[in-house]
Amino acid sequence: MTLDGKVALITGSTGNGMGRSTAFTLANRGADIVLNYGTNRGQGEASADEFASEQFDVPAATSEDEVDKAARMVMKAIQDLGRRAVLVKADTKKEEAVAAMVEKAVGEFGKIDILVNNACGAWDIRDYTKIDFEHWKEVLSAEIDGAFLTMKHIVPGMRKRRWGRIVNIGLNGVLRMDSTKHVAPDFCLGKAARAWMTTAFGLREFCRGITVNCIEPGLIPHMTFEDALDAAKGDCAKWKQRESAVSHDIAEIIAFLCSEAGRFVSGSTIRVPC
């Protein structure tokens, strides 16, 4: 399932989770990579990546310098795989930032074939009556506006070439949440919207050679930088011995959907239990 000659833009792709694993995996399959990072999730709040990192002992970068350093490490690793990579710090909630990011990517590579909407809002568990309205809007904007804006600015090029792959990252069980469980209502609502966009846009774009699909994982364990890179290369003993899904499992599903083998899968939601 080679991706030689393809260009993939992955939002939220330099943290500890699925974005980074996806970047490594697609690069190892032959794709050049546009690494996006920098969507602001709000002060003093934990992102889904940071929440999972706390649960599974993989420390998340916190300071601006650490975030930038982590992004450069991911870019260098991809270049060491023999692929081209460009790093774009952009807030996907802002249209001007998304437009500039796409312009830079197309200027560098000439096209964008694959879009993975991984950047997300903050996972902040609280009673919905206690949610600050600004926080509510911020999370929904990251989940909904971010995915919409990247598709708005990237899909026209895909239509012209009559080839494209879009994968939205959702959340397992988001439409079946037990109200007694501890959840982040705004985060879950945003993920549900991504599932709707996937179904609606996936059916609309299929005749143009573009597929749109959604993967719904739970809060999965993250991998260390080294393990994620080794897994992408097919050389990670820890991954082969895993007992539940980790970030590389999601990356493998994305790689399939983005390949020619995934041509006739569109408008689908793939749930990954953890």
Domain regions of the chain by residue span: 7-272
- What is the pLDDT, as a whole number, of residue 18? 93
For residues 140 and 56, the model is more confident at 140
> Is the pLDDT confidence value at 168 over 70?
yes
Percentage of the chain lying above the pLDDT 90 cut: 67
- What is the pLDDT, as a whole number, of residue 173? 77
- What is the pLDDT, as a whole number, of residue 55? 43
For 53-98, give the DSSP string: HHHHT-PPP-SHHHHHHHHHHHHHHHHHTT--EEEEE--TTSHHHH
Confidence of residue 220 (pLDDT cuts 50, 70, 90): confident
C-alpha–C-alpha distance, residues 75 and 157, integer Å: 24
> Is the pLDDT confidence value at 235 over 80?
no
- What is the pLDDT, as a whole number, of residue 41? 46
Low-confidence winner among 14-18, 217-221, 235-239 (lowest mean pLDDT): 235-239
> Could you report the per-residue pLDDT of 100-119, keeping only the tens digit for each?
999 999 999 999 999 999 99
For residues 229 and 242, the model is more confident at 229
CATH number of 7-272: 3.30.300.30, 3.40.50.720, 3.40.50.450, 3.60.15.10?
Answer: 3.40.50.720
- What is the pLDDT, as a whole number, of residue 218? 86
> Could you report the per-residue pLDDT of 15-55, keeping only the tens digit for each?
888 999 999 999 999 999 999 998 644 433 334 454 444 44
C-alpha–C-alpha distance, residues 102 and 252, integer Å: 25
